[in-house]
Each structure stands twice: as structure tokens, then as C-alpha cells.
Amino acid sequence: MKRSLFAAVLVSLIVPFSASAGMTDSFSNVVEKVNPAVVFIEVTQEREVVSSPFKEFDWIPWDRGQREAPEKEKQIIKGSGSGAIIDAEKGYVLTAAHVIKDVDAAVVHLPDGREFEAIDFIYDTQTDVGVVQIDTEGEKLPEISFGDSDEVKVGDWVLAMGSPLGEALANSVSAGIVSGKGRKSGILGKLGIENFIQTDAVINKGNSGGPLVNTDGEIIGINSNIISRTGFNAGLGFAVPSNIASDVVEKLITEGVIVRGWLGVTVSPLDAIEDEDMLEEIPERIMDRGGAYIVDVLDDGPADEADMEAGDIVLSINGEGVKDASELIKIISSMEPETEVEIQIFRDGEKEELEVTLGIRPGTGRQGGKGVVTGKDRETESFKKIGIAIERYNEQGEADFSEGAVVRYVRPDSIAEQFGIEVGDRIMEVNGEGFEEAEDFQELIEDADLEDGILLNVVTKNDKERKVYLKEF
């Protein structure tokens, strides 16, 4: 959660999806069904700041012997957003990633007055999808189901629900229509996966993470962001489609991190092509069957290496038809990096086949991130105590750890990260003792005490030896 998010021109928090072509004089039945599970999320983040804005000028690096560094004090930053309970039994609450990113604590408030402390935060910034888990304490909670966002049509009625401007207006509802699909606002950056649903339902600050529901009371989007010159609703709201969100949620819950295949292209739906000359070149049969239009190909990416070009239309992947840009993103993102795929394209009036080896999407998983962690890893002593997961096998595919345990994941803000352990490091000894199997390594970690200190002999990924002393002070 960053304060700047609440003042940006592209303000995070917005809209969605639906179905129903007919007019209606009331949505009260939908609200009664959904509202009990729509929550207000209060978040806090602790920061260290210089206690006086002028003290920092009283200290200069080359005068350390004579003057003390400026004192710092802890400051609590508060923020809020919205969400929806999607699993009452396990306490999972759907929200937007930017609502919970980097927060230290959160309280989830239900419309009936109950409130629950958050016990875990998991999120994917590239889609702006987040999950908060709360301790339900055995209480019975309401929940909302996902709908099929692919079935949503432009012109369908939708309801945007949440807490605009904070708790004082919690559980507000606004109605509108789906104004467009496959939109990009740019708020998620170059690496963001943007395939938003656009809506004119009124959304304002604080609606971030709240559900966009159809007239059946199903979630078809997560309110994500708006475009506005004032920071308040201007009729241009955007929501993460439920079909993308549900896939991300499942992976976050089961694996703890998202590792995506990557094609290295920018895509749009065929019906979003504005160049009339280009449209005239596309046969009617292609327009009818659907496809994903390649707007741009990133230099040196997987698609570029396979000679894909801007203007190509992707028709299928491994024989599976691609009907629009959303489906292309979904198929590629569901695959592992290094997967070889056969892509059929339409170019210059003819169909062609290209073979592409997918890369790993920059900023996710093993490349440039903290690595990959699974549900089994979370149960290990090394993960629970010091915040790391290790490879199960060596480079030869054997369960032999005589040459060290290779670090595969480092949990953010863990003691391992604080003391500089990185993905790719090899841990050779724990408190002076070597090991040959994963079980031996985990037992050594289990027996070690952070209060006394844990000494790790490490060989870095650059083959440099170092000793790392992990200790809670």
C-alpha cells in the first residue's frame, strides 16, 4: 500500500462486468445477495522517518566522528480498500494487490459489524490481484462466487460495490454498464497484464479491491483503477476480469507465487483495431472466428526470436483456438517458461505456423524475483524459521546435498533476506555441520536457535564463500 496510489491521476480502484440486456427498476435483490460478503479493509504500514525534517542536515557522512546520525522514529501509515469474501470456510478475501502490497497489518470489517485480523497477504502486482486470509475463529461467514467474465458483453448492467472514500461510506453501491473490454490504462506498468473491463459505474477512492458484479450477483471483476484528471470518478473505471482473477487466486493460494510463461508481445482484440486499412485486409471469416491482434513485438523476446511481427493475428496455440486477446494472455500465462509451443498466425492473407519457446515473464518467479515457493515448501523448517525454500534435487536430478542446499526462494522481509541470502546461493553447513540429504538439512535448521544465532557457510551464485550469521536481536 503506497500513499501515492491515492493521489495519482490513474487512481487505483475501479469497475467491471455483467449480463442482462433488459432494463430494471431495481437491483435491490442483487445487493441483498452480495452485500453481506463485501468488506471494508483497513490497512497499516510501519515506516521509519527522520524525527525532525531539519535533523538530517545536522549530519554529514564525512563528519561521523563528531556528530550523530539523525534520530529516526516509527510512523504508522493508514489506508483502506475494499474486498469480497470468496471462501468463507478458509477465510479468503479477494481484493486488489495495491491495497495490501507492503502492508504490515490489516483488519477486515464486515457489514454486520464483525471484524477479523488478517493472518496472511498474498498478491500478484502484474494483474493487481490480491488475497487476504483472515482467522474466522470458526464463525460462519457469507461469500460470493465468481462469474464468467468472458460472457460479459458491452452494454451489460453491472454494480460496483465497496467503500468509496473510506469507512464512512462503506458498502456503497453504484450501477452502470460495461463500456468496453480488453482495455489498458497503463497503471500496472510495462510488465502489467492489463485486459481490463471498462465501466461507467461510479467508482472513487476506497473502492479498490471491491467486486464488480453482474445482475446474478456474481463477481465478474475486481475494481482496480480509474482515469481521471481530478482523482475522482469521471466515468472511466477499470476492473480485472474475474476469469483472470480466479486463475491467479488459485495459484496464489496453492503455490504462493505466480510463475508465468511469456511471449513478449502487446495484444488487443480484433474489434479494437482502429486502422480501417488494416481492418479491410482481415477476411470476414477471421473476424468471425476471432483471434488476438499483435500490436507490438518486444525486441529480443520469445516472439521476436520466432520472427513474429506486429500486425500478425494469433489464431491458435498448440491447436487450441484463440478467440481474443484475453484468451491468448490466459493460455500463455498458464504455461511454464521454456515450454515449446506451436502458434498459428494469420499474416498477409495466409496462415503460418511458428514455433516459439516461451520465456519467463520479467519480474515474476525465478527471474528477477525471490524465486518460487510451493505449499510443501511452506511446511518446511527452513521456510518457517528463516524464510527460505531449497531445491529438492541437485543438477543431476539426485537427492544428494553433499555439495550444498541450493536456495530456490527467499521470503520477503524474512531474516534470511535481511542477512543477504539470495536465490541461487548454496548452503554448505549449518552451525559447522554438513549434510547429504534434504531431511538432514531441515533437522539442522529445526535444532538451531535464532536467539543463539545460526551460522551458515554459504557459497554464493558467483562462487564466493561467505559466512552468514542469522540472529534475532
pLDDT in tens, 417-472: 777 788 888 999 999 999 988 889 999 999 999 988 899 999 987 788 888 888 77
Residue 74 lies in a domain: no
239 and 268 in a single domain? The answer is no
Catalytic residue list: 98, 128, 208
Compute the distance between CA of residue 161 and CA of residue 205 in angstroms, rounded to an integer.
Answer: 12
pLDDT recorded at residue 190: 58
244 lies in the same domain as 270: no
One domain for residues 351 and 312 = yes
> Is residue 121 pLDDT above 80, yes or no?
yes
Q: What is the pLDDT of residues 242-300, one digit of tens each?
A: 999 999 999 888 877 677 788 988 788 887 777 787 788 888 888 888 999 998 888 77
342 and 308 housed in the same domain: yes
Say if residue 195 is in the same domain as residue 160: yes
Give whichever of 374-378, 387-391, 468-472 has the largest mean pLDDT.
Answer: 387-391
Residue 111 resides in a domain: no
Domain assignment of residue 140, yes or no: no
**What domain range includes position 406?**
377-470
Cα 152 to Cα 340: distance, rounded to the nearest angstrom:
32
In CATH, what number is assigned to the domain containing residue 346?
2.30.42.10
Q: Are residues 160 and 221 in the same domain?
A: yes
- Report yes or no on 69 lying in a domain: no
**What's the pTM?**
0.59
More confident site: 74 or 328? 328
Name the percent of the chain lying above pLDDT 90.
39
Examine the domain organization and report whether 347 and 418 are in the same domain: no
254 exposed, middle or buried (CB, 10 Å; 0-12, 13-18, 19+)?
exposed
More confident residue, 351 or 227: 351
Q: Tell me the C-alpha distance between 240 and 220, whole Å.
A: 8
> Same domain, yes or no, for 243 and 266?
no
Count of domains forming the chain: 3
- Residue 130 domain-assigned? no
Residue 14 resides in a domain? no
Say if 348 falls within a structural domain.
Answer: yes
| 200: CATH | 2.40.10.10
pLDDT band at 177 (very low <50, low <70, confident <90, very high): very high
